[in-house]
Amino acid sequence: MNNQVQEGPEGLLTWYHTIPPYTRGYFTLSLSLTLLTTLDVISPFSLYYNYNLIMKGQVWRLLTCFCYFGTFSIDFLFHQYFLVRYSRLLEQGEFVSKPSSFLLFLLFGAACMLAIAPWLHLNFLGSSFTFMMLYVWGRRNPHTRMQLFGVAEFGAPYLPIVMLGMSVLLGNQAVVDVLGIVAGHGWYFGRGGYPE
């Protein structure tokens, strides 16, 4: 098998097709929504989570509130990178031969976040969803060592905390990311991930 990286559109397309199906679908939808809002084809106001509007028939908001990460920016790129990387690692690692379990994981996280979001006045939950994946991956890989800009080294279970600090430095609300950590914590410990 040739492990060389292809350049150009063919390399990008090859990379895209190597992403597992759930992760690829999520990435595609989030990228598409950002592109469509940037081009003013749709408004972010038609994507955010609003219980009252969902009850009036706008059920797409149950999905789009997880897929919109804002306009193209450094924050958007970070979220897309972490979304693809850690969702992919989970889908190809812990859930490799269990796609229905991965779907259950995503639905559990979404249900937790949708239940709590109204009390926290949160409208977009994409960052929370990404942090849930970061948390579960970090907990499932406790001996993996990570580095922050090649300066600070830490264990994978601390990745969500480090990324939370980075997110706050980029001007995001901590509560959004903490919600994802809480949902990931619920999944991890609910599935028997108790401390040794």
Is residue 154 over pLDDT 70? yes
Instruction: Report phi then psi at 154, rounded to 5.
Output: -155, 165
Task: Tell me the pLDDT tens digit for each residue of 5-16.
Answer: 556 667 778 888
- Give percent above pLDDT 90 in the chain: 51
**CA–CA separation, 15 and 13 (whole Å):** 5
Residue 192's closest CA among 127, 140, 132, 157?
Answer: 140
Report which of residues 111 and 166 the model is more confident about: 111
**CA–CA separation, 21 and 42 (whole Å):** 25
Task: Tell me the pLDDT tens digit for each residue of 37-81.
Answer: 999 999 999 999 999 999 999 999 999 999 998 888 887 888 898
Q: pTM of the predicted model, to two decimals?
A: 0.85
Is residue 111 over pLDDT 90? yes
Q: What is the pLDDT of residue 196?
A: 44
Q: CA torsion angle for 101, 107, 111, 117 (degrees, to 10)?
A: 120
